[in-house]
């Protein structure tokens, strides 16, 4: 904590500027954007089979429907676009191709077989029904086990074992240390497949402007620049002729950090027909085709000393990647996310892992808030609870013995933690939650008022703000990694900030305006943030992976510094002082110590834009703007402790979260209210994953949970009040000292809630190794345990 920061807009709970239009119903989500006259609507014919050869497609009946403009199959589209190809030609990777509309085979229920073009979405639905496809059903594989079984059907002909990506590493001397340790523990954890289910599903409008030969592409995305580049590459239209706009986006959570086949098709048809095309997804289609997440299995082997000190960890990780690798994150994202996060807040030197991404006849999976980390910490913290229990230690005590508390620290994966507050966070969380007292009063039976009650503690880390080098190392070439900001003090003295990212509700407009305001000595309300439009904002990566504050913040700080220096030089010339003596605050540049010798920023802007009697000083360029990029050298690590209190009803198996405490450290906090909001929302995502959410494929590969009646999202009734505190340990690596925060809540909530249930049911000898803990499953475990005990 070497650096101290001046007070100013940063750190204030500034109310969000995003809210006013959203509260007035003036938001503009994709379906709210008025498309041009004569826009045509797309419908996608989805395969009803998980795995089937396509024998024939009869489009004639559909084409005859009034209002149907065209019906196209994969063959009609194959010349319009390149296949989606993402993974690099590097060891461990298998290069796969995906056709936006498949030609030979359907590989999951929802794979696209044909596209209809109609005058309105109703007719499009009619036409989709009228397309007659003849399939030859093939045996489908759905689960990891089935896919890896010898002789399993192949998803892609060119991948013999269905393993798309594989990575195996071991630290030097691992075997000896592992063998030598006195205690060994092995458990296998599984997390269910879940859906992002953003409240706004996907959608896009592709508008080809015939006169200019340009494509304007509105899409509900987190990564407009990546989408633009991908469209350019796959459709062969110069990226200078493509404008991608992410308007208001109704939730993304990682799922919208991808380019989807529907987007490619809409854009390709707009170019082909020189017209406008729109598609807005419905909820069933979202469940079927928007990337799923976290269908993972972790086999964890721990070697531990007699004192409970972790000596070595071995992990064997399997990720069900679904039918295809998705653009731009590819097949390795989730598989590598496990080992990358696994060292977490604990100090150990020996680590071995093998991780594999396995193809199945299911919807592709990808990033969802936290990527693999919630599953990883479900497994890691599950092991900590298990080991503590086996060794007769309090779970907190075991954690405390293993926590990294001295910084900087480099973990077994080589990741450097510059600063952190693992111990402090834990202490404060225990204090706030009354952990010691709770344990002291806790009955051994865990039964209180007819329910099993338990407490779970999770200490977690969150890797945030990764830059280009990290993505290149990971083989994610399609993710630039850097972000950029173009800041302008406009002629009026007000400020515009164009940031390369695109928000989905995080409050970018507010937080960025605070940073800009702080750095330029103005008030946030004088700053307008522009984002989400490739035409106006500089190139960059986008918003995902808890990178917003770090990447955008860093770019803003760098750009504003350039401007501030220029302001000082111009002010120095006006005030006949030295630039080194000039300070900038409250909308003025003034001579340090002589606040009356000052010149307003608006006057400096007038001079810079040549709208003043005074000419810009000799040698100075016109304008008052700067663009800067920021590419952090490594990941930055946030840390947190979550404490959850639950009650399990033995009669129904229902779990109630009774209390929840978080102490969190994401470095320097820009807007505490917004950070709180991020943590709250993420905890609810974690709570859903632990308690209720699961996408269920039957054995034939049919998805049985395709509505919000079948797929259970948490409601206000499910969420406890959350008691939260921030610790601020600024990063020494990042500009501004920021660390990321978007995903941490899920990462902590999953192990804390699972741990609390584990604690509540510990007298029954139940092990919590699988999610979700839905009532039937919990009840079945309780009944099985009781039955075992009575036997």
Partner 1 sequence: MAETRSSGYIGRAVPRLEDSRLLRGLGRYVDDLAAPPGTLHLAFLRSPHAHARIGSIRTAAAAAIPGVHVIATAADLAGLFTALRADYERPGFNRSEWYSIAVDRARYAGEIVAVAVADSPYVAEDVLELIEVEYAPLPAVVTVADAVKPGVASLHPNIGNVFFQGSFKSPGFDAAFAAAPVIVRETFTGSRIASAPMEPRGGLAVYDPGRDDLTYHATTQMPHIMRTAIAESFGWSESQIRIIAPDIGGGFGPKAYIYPEDILSIALARKLERPVKWFCDRMEDLQTTLQARDHRFDGELALDRQGIIQALRVRIEVNAGAYAGYPFGSSIEAAGGAVMMPGPYRLKYYAYEARSIATNVCPAGAYRGVSQPTAFFVMEGLLDRAAAKLGLDPAEIRLRNILHADEFPYTNAIGIRYDIGSYEECLKRALALGDYAGYRSRQTPTRFVEGKYRGVGIACFTEHTGQGASRYRDRGIRRMPGYDSAVVKVLPGGKAAAYVSQTEIGQGSITTCAQIVADRLGLDINDVTIVEGDTSLTPHGSGTGASRGAVAAGGAVLRAADKVREKMLRIAGDFLEASPKDIELNDGYAHVAGAPQLRVAIAEIAAVAHAAHDRPPPKGHGFGLEATDHYDPPHVYITNATHLAWVAVDPATGLVSVERYLVVHDCGRVINPLVVEGQIHGAVAQGLGQALMERIVHGADGQQQTVHFLDYLLPTALDLPPIEIAHLETPSPETAGGFKGVGEGGVIGALPALANAVADALKSFNANINRLPLAPDHVLDLIDQHRDRRVTAA
**Degrees to nearest 5, angle at CA 422 with 421 and 425:** 75
**224: contact with partner 1 by CB under 8 A:** no
**377: contact with partner 1 by CB under 8 A:** no
Q: Number of residues in contact with partner 1, rule: CB under 8 A?
A: 62
Per DSSP bridges, beta strands 310-322 and 350-359 are: parallel
**91: contact with partner 1 by CB under 8 A:** no
Which tokens go with 757? Answer: 């249930």
Q: Which of residues 36 and 765 has its CB atom nearest to partner 1 in the complex? A: 36
**30: contact with partner 1 by CB under 8 A:** no
Of 3, 492, 652, 704, the one binding partner 1 by CB under 8 A: 492
**494: contact with partner 1 by CB under 8 A:** yes
Binding mask 597-616 for partner 1 (x = CB under 8 A): ------------xxxxx-xx
Residue whose C-alpha is closest to residue 248's, from 210, 222, 213: 222
CB of 304 to partner 1, least distance (A): 40
**490: contact with partner 1 by CB under 8 A:** yes
**488: contact with partner 1 by CB under 8 A:** yes
**217: contact with partner 1 by CB under 8 A:** no
**621: contact with partner 1 by CB under 8 A:** yes
Stretch that binds partner 1, among 63-71, 393-401, 528-536, 691-699 (CB under 8 A): 528-536
Neighbour order of strands in the sheet with 636-648: 447-448, 451-464, 636-648, 655-665, 722-727
- Report the distance separating Cα 81 and Cα 251, nearest Å: 28
Of 622, 786, 788, 789, the one binding partner 1 by CB under 8 A: 622
Contact 334, 365 (CB under 8 A): yes
Q: Which of residues 497 and 637 has its CB atom nearest to partner 1 in the complex? A: 497
Contacts for 44 with CB less than 8 Å, ≥ 6 apart: 112, 114, 115, 116, 128, 262, 265, 279, 285
**19: contact with partner 1 by CB under 8 A:** no
> Measured in whole angstroms, how far is the alpha carbon of residue 263 from the centre of its chain?
20
Of 7, 24, 440, 596, the one binding partner 1 by CB under 8 A: 24
Half-sphere exposure of 771 (CA within 13 A, CB side): 36
Of 382, 481, 742, 772, the one binding partner 1 by CB under 8 A: 481
**39: contact with partner 1 by CB under 8 A:** no
**480: contact with partner 1 by CB under 8 A:** yes
Other CB atoms within 10 Å distance of the CB of residue 472: 14
Q: Which of residues 37 and 440 has its CB atom nearest to partner 1 in the complex? A: 37
**Degrees to nearest 5, angle at CA 367 with 88 and 661:** 145
Alpha-carbon distances, residue 417 vs 343, 345, 386, 408, 638 (angstroms): 11, 9, 27, 5, 9
**415: contact with partner 1 by CB under 8 A:** no
- Report the distance separating Cα 60 and Cα 618, nearest Å: 72
Burial class (CB in 10 A: 0-12, 13-18, 19+), 500: buried
- Report the distance separating Cα 561 and Cα 557, nearest Å: 6
Stretch that binds partner 1, among 32-40, 144-152, 312-320, 711-719 (CB under 8 A): 32-40
Q: Which of residues 47 and 602 has its CB atom nearest to partner 1 in the complex? A: 602
CB of 541 to partner 1, least distance (A): 9
Of 238, 578, 652, 715, the one binding partner 1 by CB under 8 A: 238
Stretch that binds partner 1, among 64-72, 116-124, 489-497, 633-641 (CB under 8 A): 489-497
CB of 240 to partner 1, least distance (A): 4
Half-sphere exposure of 451 (CA within 13 A, CB side): 17
- Report the distance separating Cα 548 and Cα 554, nearest Å: 9
Q: Which of residues 74 and 92 has its CB atom nearest to partner 1 in the complex? A: 92
**728: contact with partner 1 by CB under 8 A:** no
CB of 535 to partner 1, least distance (A): 6
In 500-593, at which residue ranges do the beta strands (DSSP E only) sit? 527-531, 582-585, 588-591
SS3 sequence of 89-106: CCCCECCCCECCCCCCEE
CB of 233 to partner 1, least distance (A): 6
Of 59, 222, 232, 560, the one binding partner 1 by CB under 8 A: 232
**120: contact with partner 1 by CB under 8 A:** no
414 torsion bin: left (phi>0), alpha (psi -120 to 50), beta (else): left
Among residue numbers 156 through 215, which ones bind partner 1 (CB under 8 A)? 210-214
664 three-class SS: strand
Stretch that binds partner 1, among 44-52, 378-386, 444-452, 479-487 (CB under 8 A): 479-487
- Report the distance separating Cα 776 and Cα 759, nearest Å: 19
- Report the distance separating Cα 565 and Cα 608, nearest Å: 13
Stretch that binds partner 1, among 388-396, 417-425, 524-532, 768-776 (CB under 8 A): 524-532
- Report the distance separating Cα 620 and Cα 570, nearest Å: 8
**536: contact with partner 1 by CB under 8 A:** yes
CB of 376 to partner 1, least distance (A): 27
- Report the distance separating Cα 495 and Cα 498, nearest Å: 10
Alpha-carbon distances, residue 414 vs 165, 620, 634, 733 (angstroms): 22, 45, 11, 16
- Report the distance separating Cα 722 and Cα 640, nearest Å: 14
Which tokens go with 153? Answer: 């059907």
- Report the distance separating Cα 358 and Cα 73, nearest Å: 28
**229: contact with partner 1 by CB under 8 A:** yes
CB of 391 to partner 1, least distance (A): 46
Contact 398, 391 (CB under 8 A): yes
**85: contact with partner 1 by CB under 8 A:** no
**26: contact with partner 1 by CB under 8 A:** yes
408: preceding bond cis by omega (within 30 degrees): yes
**629: contact with partner 1 by CB under 8 A:** yes
Q: Which of residues 154 and 494 has its CB atom nearest to partner 1 in the complex? A: 494
- Report the distance separating Cα 224 and Cα 740, nearest Å: 21
Among residue numbers 545 through 574, which ones bind partner 1 (CB under 8 A)? none
Of 240, 410, 704, 715, the one binding partner 1 by CB under 8 A: 240
Among residue numbers 457 through 476, which ones bind partner 1 (CB under 8 A)? 468-469, 471-472
**53: contact with partner 1 by CB under 8 A:** no
Which positions lie near partner 1, rule CB under 8 A? 20-22, 24, 26-28, 34, 36-37, 88, 210-214, 229, 232-233, 238-241, 468-469, 471-472, 477-478, 480-482, 484, 488, 490-492, 494-496, 526-528, 530, 535-536, 538-539, 609-613, 615-616, 621-623, 625, 627, 629, 631
């Amino acid at each position: 904590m070497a650096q101290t920061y001046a007070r100013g807009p940063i750190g204030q709970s500034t109310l969000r500027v995003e809210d006013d239009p959203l509260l007035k119903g003036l938001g503009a989500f994709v379906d709210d954007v008025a498309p041009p006259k004569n826009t045509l609507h797309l419908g996608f014919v989805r395969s009803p089979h998980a795995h089937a050869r396509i024998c024939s497609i009869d489009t004639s009946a559909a084409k005859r429907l009034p209002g149907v403009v065209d019906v196209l199959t994969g063959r009609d589209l194959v010349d319009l676009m390149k296949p989606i190809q993402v993974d690099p030609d590097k060891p461990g990777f298998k290069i796969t191709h995906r056709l936006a509309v498949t030609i030979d085979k359907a590989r999951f229920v929802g794979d696209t077989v044909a596209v209809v073009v109609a005058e309105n979405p109703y007719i499009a639905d009619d036409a989709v029904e009228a397309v007659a496809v003849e399939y030859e059903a093939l045996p489908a594989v759905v689960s990891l086990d089935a896919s890896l079984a010898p002789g399993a059907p192949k998803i892609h002909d060119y991948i013999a074992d269905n393993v798309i990506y594989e990575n195996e590493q071991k630290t030097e001397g691992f075997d000896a240390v592992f063998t030598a340790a006195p205690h060994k523990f092995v458990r296998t954890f599984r997390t269910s497949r879940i859906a992002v289910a953003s409240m706004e599903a996907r959608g896009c409008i592709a508008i080809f402007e015939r006169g200019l030969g340009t494509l304007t592409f509105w899409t509900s995305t987190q990564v407009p620049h990546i989408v633009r580049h991908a469209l350019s590459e796959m459709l062969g239209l110069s990226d200078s002729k493509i404008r991608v706009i992410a308007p208001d986006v109704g939730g993304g959570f990682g799922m919208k950090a991808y380019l989807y086949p529907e987007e490619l098709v809409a854009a390709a048809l707009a170019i082909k027909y020189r017209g406008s095309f729109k598609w807005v997804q419905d909820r069933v289609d979202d469940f079927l085709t928007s990337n799923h997440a976290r269908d993972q299995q972790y086999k964890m082997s721990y070697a531990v000393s007699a004192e409970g000190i972790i000596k070595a960890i071995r992990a064997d990780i399997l990720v069900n990647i679904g039918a295809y690798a998705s653009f731009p994150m590819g097949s390795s994202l989730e598989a590598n996310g496990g080992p990358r996060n696994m060292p977490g807040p604990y100090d150990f030197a020996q680590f071995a892992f093998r991780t594999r991404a396995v193809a199945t006849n299911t919807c592709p999976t990808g990033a969802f808030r936290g990527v693999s980390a919630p599953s990883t910490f479900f497994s890691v913290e599950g092991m900590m609870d298990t080991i503590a229990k086996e060794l007769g230690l309090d779970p907190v005590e075991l954690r405390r013995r293993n926590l990294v508390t001295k910084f900087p620290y480099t973990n077994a994966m080589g990741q450097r933690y510059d600063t952190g507050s693992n111990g402090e966070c834990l202490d404060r969380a225990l204090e706030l939650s009354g952990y010691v007292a709770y344990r002291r009063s806790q009955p051994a039976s865990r039964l209180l008022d007819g329910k099993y009650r338990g407490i779970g503690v999770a200490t977690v880390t969150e890797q945030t703000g990764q830059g280009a080098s990290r993505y290149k190392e990971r083989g994610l070439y399609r993710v630039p990694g850097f972000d950029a900001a173009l800041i302008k003090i406009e002629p009026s003295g007000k400020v515009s900030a164009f940031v390369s990212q695109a928000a989905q509700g995080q409050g970018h407009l507010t937080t960025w305006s605070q940073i800009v305001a702080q750095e330029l000595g103005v008030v946030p309300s004088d700053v307008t943030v522009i984002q989400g439009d490739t035409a106006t904002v500089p190139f960059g990566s986008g918003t995902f992976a808890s990178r917003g504050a770090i990447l955008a913040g860093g770019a803003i700080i760098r750009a504003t510094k350039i401007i501030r220096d220029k302001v000082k030089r111009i002010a120095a010339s006006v005030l006949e002082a030295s630039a080194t003596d000039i300070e900038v605050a409250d909308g003025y540049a003034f001579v340090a110590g002589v606040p009356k010798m000052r010149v307003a920023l608006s006057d400096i802007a007038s001079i810079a834009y040549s709208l003043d009697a005074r000419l810009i000083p000799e040698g100075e360029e016109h304008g008052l703007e700067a663009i800067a990029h920021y590419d952090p050298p490594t990941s930055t690590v946030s840390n947190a402790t979550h404490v959850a209190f639950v009650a399990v009803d033995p009669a129904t198996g229902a779990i109630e979260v009774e209390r929840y405490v978080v102490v969190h450290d994401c470095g320097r906090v820009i807007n505490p209210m917004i950070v709180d909001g991020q943590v709250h929302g993420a905890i609810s995502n974690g709570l859903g994953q632990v308690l209720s959410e699961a996408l269920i494929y039957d054995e034939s590969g049919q998805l049985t949970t395709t509505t919000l009646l079948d797929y259970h999202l948490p409601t206000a009734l499910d969420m406890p009040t959350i008691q939260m505190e921030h610790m601020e340990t600024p990063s020494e690596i990042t500009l501004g000292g920021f660390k990321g925060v978007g995903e941490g809540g899920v990462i902590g909530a999953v192990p804390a809630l699972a741990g609390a249930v584990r604690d509540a049911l510990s007298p029954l000898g139940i092990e919590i190794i699988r999610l979700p803990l839905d009532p039937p499953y919990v009840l079945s475990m309780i009944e099985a345990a009781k039955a075992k005990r009575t036997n």
